[in-house]
Amino acid sequence: MPIKIPNQLPATSVLTSENIFVMTETRAITQDIRPLQILLLNLMPTKIETETQLARVLGNTPIQIELELIAPSGHVSKNTSQAHMLAFYKSFDEVRDRTFDGLVITGAPVENLDFTDVDYWDEFKTILDWASTHVFSTIYLCWGAMGALYYRYGIHKVDYPEKIFGVFPQYLQDEYCFLTNGFDEIDLQPHSRLAGVNENEVRANHDLQILTWGPQSGPGLIATRDFSEVFALGHWEYGKYTLAEEYERDMAKGMTNVPFPKNYFPHDDPKLEPLFAWRAHANLLWRNWLNWVYQTTPYDLTEVPQLRAEKKLGTDRSIRHEPGGPRQDDFKPFVHDGYGVIQG
């Protein structure tokens, strides 16, 4: 929630320059308030687990949210009962005439396939086209991010011979960004994917900005300049044991391109509990995204299509700037010696 301060308080300009939401007395007496309407397109086979993970991070804020669930209509879930799907999920056709504050599109374990070989690719593209006019801001996860970057911006997927698997350091690339405000210079992000995106193509596209990046995992968080679309290549929403469960599942399948998860089990000993080292940044990212949507989305959701068409998202403050990292030198912790403070 924003901080309410007197109209002319000098701190207003300072906090605004740091992209901290400030509400003056004048705005406070005229604002309208309602719950955020968030739609979740769940592409994961483990739907109940994914619902729970995302509801946890979405609900851990002071903002009231109304969450609705959809899944591809042409794809039958093999791991979730039809009773559950019928009870809690809608089809896209049931929501396509509505507008939403936010849309979350999950990943899917299909990154080894060409996009056109995914059986719901056409419906995925249709939903993205719809979201570009009917959703204020969309956040894509893992394969969802890869597919959206390719379809919306021509960023090609890069296949890997071995899975990027474990918890990897990411370096903050923008000191004052709405989405990463409050992030440490280093954040840890779980990754579990057999593909990534062409980083050179991302950097060459001026509509996109890389917000976190790591030497082993590449871009972890990408966004459009107006934050209408956010792309998380990793899995900040993962729970403590998700990577362990995925590793057991992959080993049971006999997969040979999946390494032991890095930086996850203490001393690389799977008999010990995993170290839950990304929870704070996970909660912060989702709070920041929801807060940005809450502060900038129109009270009347029917205004969203016109705002998207006119590219007038955001507030009257300048939100489009060249990303500037927190460091002035080229120091990269974790590359040679742990945090650079202790001997690695």
Q: For residue range 83-105, what is the model confidence (pLDDT) as tens digits?
A: 888 888 899 999 999 999 999 99
**Three-class secondary structure of residue 33 per DSSP:** coil
Question: So what's the pLDDT on residue 27?
Answer: 66
273 among known catalytic residues: no
Q: Which of 111, 123, 229, 237 is labelled catalytic?
A: 237
Architecture of domain 34-160+170-239+278-310: 3-Layer(aba) Sandwich (3.40)
Catalytic residue among 111, 123, 142, 191: 142
Buried b (16+ CB within 10 A) or exposed e, 253-275: eeeeebeebbbbbeeeeeeeebe
**Active-site entry in 229, 235, 246, 281:** 235
Strand partners, 140: 105, 231
Q: What is the pLDDT of residues 310-325, one digit of tens each?
A: 877 764 434 445 556 6
49 is known as an active-site residue? no
From-to residues of CATH 3.40.50.880 in the chain: 34-160+170-239+278-310
Helices (H) and strands (E) in the chain, counts: 10, 12
237 in catalytic set: yes
Express each pLDDT in 191-228 by its tens digit: 999 999 999 999 999 999 999 999 899 999 999 988 99
The pair of structure tokens assigned to 318 is 């300048």
pLDDT at residue 143 tops 60: yes
Q: How many Cα atoms occupy the beta-carbon half-sphere of 125 within 13 Å?
A: 10
pLDDT above 80 for 336: no
* pTM exceeding 0.75: yes
Query: What one-character DSSP code corresponds to residue 100?
Result: E
pLDDT band at 147 (very low <50, low <70, confident <90, very high): very high
Give CB contacts under 8 A, 24+ apart, made by 326-331. 326/172, 326/175, 326/185, 327/185
Instruction: State in Å, rounded, how far the first CA of the chain is from the last one.
Output: 40
Q: What is the pLDDT of residue 88?
A: 86
More confident residue, 24 or 217: 217
